[in-house]
Structure 1
């Protein structure tokens, strides 16, 4: 580590340790989060933190889709898929793992196998690389959720080529009270959430405790010979959060939040969608010739027809599936007002994740392709049954910011430094794999994984209101930002052999942002921004040093975005219309391919990540709302994405990409919503709402070897009716139905058609869900 980076680490460490101590010596005003979930109108002001400070959504020169707590409930957003359905250009990637492990892609920027995500989730200003946020059971007691589209490379801790999703919890408020909400629905759906807020010492010591517990039977049943009657796609989780705000003086605020998440399910109900009758393994290197799957498992020749006859909610597996996750995190935000124009902020966090799972990838009663966490009798306390975590990373992050204004508030700036450390908490990373012919002619393969990653960055960004220094430029502002990042990644993988293959990659890069925005009037705002961001390169763990697929370089996305944000009131007709158009140039695109790699045990087909091509991604996004008459609010959103490869890296990359669709880019997406509020006087208020979302066909195919090239288009209706303040009391009663028409379409795919197993597994949309909910608010 060079001297400059060593100095950065020392400064950050001193800042992190000194800020809480300084809290006893100075004073500052409070910095509490707005109660955005109390907003009844779709046109009310929404406070966002897209530029790491509180601003009105309409004033931010970035494409942002923001949801208040009330909007999350109205649109039935409870997991990653429903969040993506309602958000322009956002796509959720299901298939190939338990459903709750799904990833996000935004504007075509998603992960390749084992690579850094293109979209980074944040909770309370801390990047969350383990993808816990967005799962079922994490949407309770939130101030808002913000989806920031496009490269985010200067103000946020982790580079993100697609964008960031910010999950902001409700901070402790200066009052005593809270709420409780219960839900019961079909499939024996039982959920309860609530929060209690206590001003232990008003304005000085504030506490908030919140949580959610959920149980639901699965909607996919096993009807096979091994696990008959077992249900999949069930829910069982507990999630809790404790926040404490301390304001010892008027110039100091220390906010600490701790949280715990536990999920324990039977995994997802993957459905067999296709089988390649020519699938098998070429064992000529061992003198055995070609080994067809169907020779060993003749039932595979009729397996697809058998599955079609059962329908997508009835399956037959040979593996006892499970999925257990335990996660905890503690975050401290300390803010110190140095003066009226200068603020020092430190954000530090530590978290741990432990996950075990067993998953039947081929979705049949034959042992073709699966993964399961190993049992370690010598360490039985880790998980039930003595299983060793497949994933057990720990995370430490530290960020120190200096925020301020100058020149009579004409200049607003932020600069600082960031670091994070990720490592595996051993023993962990141990799993058993079945992948034909392993598990048939030879024993299952054991694998041990270990990884460490580190990142350091320094950054600065400033906005200058030109009209304050030159009256002729009234309404114009310029923003510039730079961030320099150093990243180091190490991985160790042993598959079927005692000796691990290890390797490391070092990357460093400069990211920038440049924006010009103009207030045409008080309610009309236009902007143009140019920026870039990177996804770090990496190392394909099991690939030996002699292979050309051992390493892959960093991705880069450079884009230009122009946007309009407007609000209007024409003869009593109030509305909001925001539109953004963008064009991005995409270099060193990372794609997952199946390659034959010579391991010490012999040739094997492995998923590898490689730099494959350059590309272009361009599109349009619209968010709109209108209130045509009192009480009626109409909302809508739309996105269009046009993406294609423009140049392949080499002949071998061209061979696998020629004719391949660009993944994670549904060409069209839109949502339409309507809500109507009817006051009932002293008996309360009625709100009726309906929401429709539609997504055109889309692909998750990384190469042209995929058999299942496109997921079909689908549309979903959700509706609700809520009676609020029943009888003038703080009591709410409602009914809801999601997927009203019971749409049944594949929304995720694991395509192994060209591999030795020859199977294609499909993840289907959730069936119609309906139920009742009751909520009660108490206190001030």
Structure 2
């Protein structure tokens, strides 16, 4: 790391000296980050969408990769504040935002939602060039954002770790040399309150500028909790802040230092039993719950620092580097059985620390050829404890289950003459210490101004170490009977450690042909790899001082895709067909309470993605998308012997479609009114790999609307909105912790929420 810092500093000094002889304007990648005030660029005004899916600026129509790009202006138009809302505008993407701590990103049928500290992601989330993929810290506010890009298919060659089936890349707005500010306030259903402020200020003309964005957002829970007086579930309590300092010592050098902080303290997530009827309620996931744990809830803080340097070494050579640090501290306490009985509880406490450095050179000796080469160093330490507490009196007595819902609730205080504990609490602590080094190169060459060949290769070396221990305690010292050493075992105070290295190549190739300058066809092949896993387990029958190590091979996918992209006036359209095949697919085996990670063997998928966006009539902008996906397990037998071969992936509907329109009309010289409507649909979804019929979500549609008025000259705007206009009932998940104990629990989606927003720009 020190070597990289030294190299970057040397290059910085060299560039400053070179500038004294020859100055040139900011180019390529700098242009995107320079536009930080949210103004519509000249390219946007002409309907051009510029993306960086190949780590350089290109027109969307020219890129041989399926990309959905949402500009900051579009995010503001459709009032997109969180990552969960991205599903409404992106073909093939489904974001399952249970809470800030529990999130799932599904792309092309593959879901990244593993909370294990030792497993690697399958879908990467990058914010300002820094990897934010691990579950506990992946969800963040989309505030004052320049653009969001969802890049589908394996992207490991250019983006590195975790980009097995795609990348979600977020870039914040950067400081500019003009003063600007805005403040917005929002109130709505369930005592929603949202206050947001953004300010941009130049400090030294053309040299130094700062930008800050802050949001405070609170809302009562949308679900009543009958087990606790006045209790609510699924609330919001978030503070988010970001500050950016931009230093531009010369026209060739741009250096951004970005600080981010987010703090969340929502009430507990709804985990409602679909088996046991609560007093005064029913088993519907869409009515009041009864979760009796008094201390349930979530506490999370996320802090990050990013140093983004862009340096033009010459007319044809540019360097960009990203240095990052992230710290995520999170604690979640939940009622695992989702009932008013003290049966199952769960706890997870996580501390993540991540350090990263990447340097990338881009050489463009002529417009027809670009060579990109770079390397990265990434180091992570995750200290995580997950624990379950189980009332063995219900395990040995009687408690309703999904297969026997009419069983009475009976607590057995004794069993075969032995006392039975009311709480057998055990947990496993794992420290993941992983260092990843990689180097990559990608070349793009255009022949005859029409035919372009892109090829790239990355090598990654992972050094993965895990330390683990397990502990158990029971109430009153009464020994456990069902789980003598606890659900996760007991290491007797001993800590075991194991280290394993993994090395792998991730190549890509793409060929594209321009039929016309605005009509492009392409075909691509890419290999994605998810690094291997070093996991530990302990016996549950007696104290086991030394861990049993589970080494899971890297997961591999071969992806083939072809498509066509077109730009007609200001309208962009695309169609993609893809097919992929997985080997050594890594899954969490839910047939065991411990959820051991293992290889599911083989899986495959195929599908179609299409989108159209742009102004279809004067004042009427449209975003339409459709995705068909047919994916599942080719071969998968669980540790318990259950054969899931042929089953559909979880959270993977066959059909997903959306239509978003925004109509603006002038009502006076400076005042403009608007109406926006977003319609979203997805077909039947399974929530678990076993594809149980009672753990599914039927197809459903959700409609969001907004009506507003704004005065461009005065800088103010106001909008009234209703999300989920028809109050459609739908689920985010079903199964969860309770599934392992025979009482699956459900998490409902957002009900109808209405509100009013007011914004003033200065």
CA shift digits 1:721-774 (9 cap, x unpaired)? 121226x3111111111110111211212345663x211111101111111111
User: Deviation digits for residues 690-711 of structure 1, max 9, x if unmatched?
Assistant: 110001111231346x574422
For 2:107 and 2:680, the matched residues in 1 are separated by: 17
Q: Which residue of 1 aligns with 2:410?
A: none
Q: Is the 8 A contact 1:465 1:477 kept in 2?
A: yes
> Residues 620-643 of structure 1, C-alpha deviation per residue, up to 9 Å, x if partnerless?
111113544312233310000011
Flag the 1:241–1:349 CA change in 2: closer, same or farther, 3 A. Answer: same
Query: Quick check: 1:396 aligned with 2:355?
Result: yes
Residue 437 in structure 1 maps to residue 392 in structure 2: yes
Distance, in Å, in 2 between the alignment partners of 1:339 and 1:140 is 34
Cα distance, 1:317–1:76 mapped onto 2, change above 3 Å:
farther
Measure, in 1, the Cα distance between the counterparts of 2:241 and 2:270.
27
Among residues 727, 744, 762, which one is paired with 1:760 in the alignment?
Answer: 744
Structure 1 position 420 matched with structure 2 position 378: yes
Question: Alpha carbons of 1:84 and 1:651: their partners in 2 closer, same or farther (altered >3 Å)?
Answer: closer
* Aligned: 1:738 with 2:723: yes
Between the aligned partners of 1:149 and 1:94, the Cα distance in structure 2 is 20
Q: Write the distance in 2 (CA, Å) between the matches of 1:641 and 1:699.
A: 13
Q: CA deviation at 1:529?
A: 0.8
Decide which of 664, 671, 675 is 1:677's aligned counterpart. Answer: 664
Q: Which has the larger displacement, 621-630 or 665-674?
A: 621-630
In the alignment, is the contact (CA less than 8 A) between 1:141 and 1:194 conserved in 2? no
Structure 2 matches for 1:305-384, cutoff 5 A?
A: 306-308=281-283, 311-372=286-347
**Quick one: which of 500, 503, 506 aligns to 2:501?**
506
Q: Return the offset for 1:309.
A: 6.9
User: How far 1:81 sits from its partner (Å)?
Assistant: 2.7
* Matches of 1:740 and 1:442, distance apart in 2: 44
> Aligned to 2:143, what secondary structure does the other structure show?
coil
1:718 pairs with 704, 717, 733, which one? 704
Kindly indicate whether residue 70 of structure 2 is the aligned counterpart of residue 67 of structure 1. Answer: yes
- Describe the shift of the 1:368–1:17 C-alpha distance in structure 2 as closer, same or farther (beyond 3 A): farther
Distance (whole Å) between structure 2 residues aligned to residue 653 and residue 43 of structure 1: 58
Tell me how far apart the structure 2 counterparts of residues 551 and 152 of structure 1 sit (CA, whole Å): 25
Following the alignment from structure 1 to structure 2, what is the Cα–Cα distance between the partners of residues 310 and 640? 28
> Which residues in structure 2 correspond to 1:41-120 (within 5 Å)?
44-93=47-96, 98=99, 100-111=101-112, 112=114, 114=116, 115-120=119-124
TM-aligned CA deviation for residue 539 of structure 1? 2.2
> Which whole-Å CA distance do the structure 1 matches of 2:190 and 2:423 have between them?
41
Judge conservation of contact 2:675–2:708 (CA < 8 Å) in 1: yes
Contact 1:175 1:202 in 2 (8 A): no
Q: Which residue of 1 aligns with 2:649?
A: 662
The residue number in structure 2 matching 1:623 is 611
Root mean square deviation of aligned Cα: 2.7
**Distance of 2:646 and 2:547 partners within structure 1:** 26
- Equivalence map 1:342-741=2 (5 Å): 342-372=317-347, 390-406=349-365, 408-424=366-382, 429-430=384-385, 432-437=387-392, 440-441=421-422, 443-467=424-448, 474-496=449-471, 497=490, 498-543=493-538, 550-569=550-569, 575-594=571-590, 605-625=593-613, 627-648=615-636, 655-658=642-645, 660-703=647-690, 708-725=694-711, 728-741=713-726
Q: Is the 8 A contact 1:347 1:399 kept in 2?
A: yes
Q: Check conservation: 1:271, 1:315, Cα contact below 8 A.
A: yes
Distance in 2, matches of 1:744 and 1:118, equals 29
**Aligned-partner SS, 1:655:** coil
Residue 647 of structure 2 aligns to a residue whose secondary structure is coil
Residues 614-661 of structure 1: per-residue CA shift (max 9 Å, x gap): 12111011111354431223331000001133344x796873324532
Cα pair 2:666 2:673 within 8 Å, conserved: yes
Relative to structure 1, the CA distance from residue 438 to residue 579 in structure 2 (aligned partners, 3 Å threshold; closer, same or farther) is: farther
SS of aligned partner of 1:493: strand
Indicate if the aligned counterparts of 2:333 and 2:346 stay in contact, CA closer than 8 A: yes
In structure 2, C-alpha distance between the alignment counterparts of 1:151 and 1:560, rounded to whole Å: 10
Q: Whole-Å Cα distance in 1 between the matches of residues 746 and 250 of structure 2? A: 57
Report the TM-score, using the length of structure 1 for normalisation.
Answer: 0.84
By how many angstroms is 1:432 displaced? 4.3
CA distance change for structure 1 residues 751 and 775 in 2, over 3 Å: closer, same or farther? closer
Retained in 1: the 8 A contact 2:536–2:547?
A: no
Assess, with a 3 A threshold, how the Cα gap between structure 1 residues 42 and 202 changes in structure 2: closer, same or farther: closer
Unaligned runs of 5+ in 1: 1-8, 275-299, 374-389, 468-473, 597-604
For 1:613 and 1:502, locate their aligned partners in 2 and report how far apart those are by CA, in whole Å.
27
Cα separation, 2, equivalents of 1:485 and 1:737: 47
Distance 2:393 2:208 in 1: 60
Alignment match of 2:733 (pick from 748, 758, 762) = 748
Tell me how far 1:16 sits from its aligned partner.
4.3
- 1:527 shift after superposition: 1.0
| Range with greater deviation from structure 2 (486-495 or 554-563) | 486-495
Larger deviation, residues 185-194 vs 53-62:
53-62
TM-superposition CA deviations, 1:174-221 (whole Å, max 9, x none):
211121111111111111112111121222112111111111111112
Q: Once the two structures are superposed, what CA deviation does each residue of 1:35-94 show, in whole Å capped at 9, x if it has no partner?
A: 694449897222222111222222221111111223224444333332223321112346
Shift of 1:349: 0.7
Confirm whether residue 144 of structure 1 aligns to residue 144 of structure 2: no
The equivalent of 2:7 in structure 1 is 15
Q: Structure 1 residues 668, 335: CA separation in 2 closer, same or farther (over 3 Å shift)? A: same
Alpha-carbon distance in 1 for matches of 2:737, 2:176? 51
Q: Distance in 1 between matches of 2:101 and 2:39?
A: 30
Cα shift readout 1:481-539 (whole Å, capped 9, x = no counterpart)? 00000112222232223223433332110001101111111211111111011111112
- Note the C-alpha offset of 1:318: 2.8
The offset of 1:543, in angstroms, is: 4.6
Residue 464 of structure 1, CA deviation: 0.5
Question: Does the CA contact (< 8 Å) of 1:592 and 1:703 recur in 2?
Answer: no
The 2-side partners of 1:20 and 1:307 are apart by 66
Contact 1:459 1:484 in 2 (8 A): yes
Contact 2:354 2:379 in 1 (8 A): yes
Q: Structure 2 vs 1, CA of residues 305 and 228 (structure 1 numbering), >3 Å: closer, same or farther?
A: closer
SS of equivalent residue, structure 2 residue 110: coil
Question: Is the partner of 2:87 in helix, strand or coil?
Answer: helix
Question: Which residue does the alignment assign to 1:219?
Answer: 222
Higher relative contact order (Cα pairs below 8 Å, separated by 6+ residues): 1
Alignment TM-score, normalising by the size of structure 2:
0.86
